[in-house]
Structure 1
Amino acid sequence: PKKDAKASAKQPQKTQKKKEGSGGGKAKKKKWSKGKVRDKLNNQVLFDQPTYEKLYKEVPQYKLITPAVVSERLKVRGSLARRALIELREKGPIKQVVQHHG
C-alpha cells in the first residue's frame, strides 16, 4: 500500500514539470494553405433580349437593388449592371434611395 501512495504522489509532479519546461521547445511551423479556388464567372458583357426583358420585369420587384445583386442574379458584368440601374432609374421603374461612393 505504501508503494502505491508514492507512485500516485509522483504523477502530479511529473505533469507539473512538463507544464513548466514546455516553453523552451521549438514550435512547429505552420503549413501554407492552398487558398480557396473560385470558379471563373462567365458574365455577359452586353444584354441579350431575354436578359433585358428580365431586367425590366424582375429587378423592380427586388427588395434590395444594387449593381452587385443585379450582376449576380442576371449573370452580367458589374459595369453593365450599373448602367442598367441608371437606365431603370431614368425611365421610372425604380427610384434611388441612397447614394454611396466608397
Structure 2
Amino acid sequence: MAPKVQTTKAAKAAAAMAGGKSRKKTVKRVKDKAQHHVILDQPLYDRIFKEAGASKFFTVSVLVDRLKVNGSLARRALKALEEEGIIKPVITHSKQKTYTRVAE
C-alpha cells in the first residue's frame, strides 16, 4: 500500500467548497390523513349488515375501503356478522381472515 498523502486544512476546505453539480430536490407528496369512522353507531351497523348481502367475500381491508371504517371496527364488525351466522370464515390466517356469505 502506498503511504497516505498529508493534506492541509486549506486544501481540505478548498475541496469541500468546490462541490459538484447540485442535485434536484424531490418533491414529497403528503398523503391526506384518512377520516374514517372510529365509533360503531347504529346507522353504520345497518350499513355493514346491508353490505354483507352484496359482496361475495369479506376481509378487514375490504370493509375499510368500502365503508370508510377503522381497522379495529372492521374486525369487530366481521366478528359480529360471524356470530349472527351471516358470514363464515374461509381462510383463517394469523394476519388476514377471509369470510364469505353463508348460502341460504
**What TM-score bracket applies, with the shorter chain setting the length?**
0.5 to 0.7
How far apart are 1:87 and its partner, in Å?
A: 1.0
1:81 aligns with 2:81: no
Change (3 A) 1:54 1:30: same
CA distance in 2, matches of 1:47, 1:99: 24
Moved more, 31-40 or 48-57: 31-40
Rg bigger for which structure? 1
Residue in 2 that maps onto 1:37: 30
| Structure 1 unaligned residues grouped into runs of 5+ | 1-26
1:92 aligns with 2:56: no
- Does the aligned pair in 2 maintain the 1:60–1:94 contact within 8 Å? no
CA distance in 2, matches of 1:59, 1:31: 50
Aligned residue pairs: how many?
76
Structure 1 or 2: more strand by fraction:
2
Q: Deviations over 1:65-101 (max 9, x none)?
A: 1111101211110011011101101110111100112
After TM superposition, the score normalised by the length of structure 1 is 0.63
Change (3 A) 1:74 1:28: same
3-state DSSP of counterpart to 1:95: strand
CA RMSD of aligned residues (A): 1.9
Q: Percent identity?
A: 45
CA distance in 1, matches of 2:37, 2:27: 30
Structure 1 or 2: more helix by fraction:
1
Instruction: State the 4+ residue runs in structure 1 displaced beyond 4 angstroms.
Output: 27-30
CA distance in 2, matches of 1:96, 1:73: 20
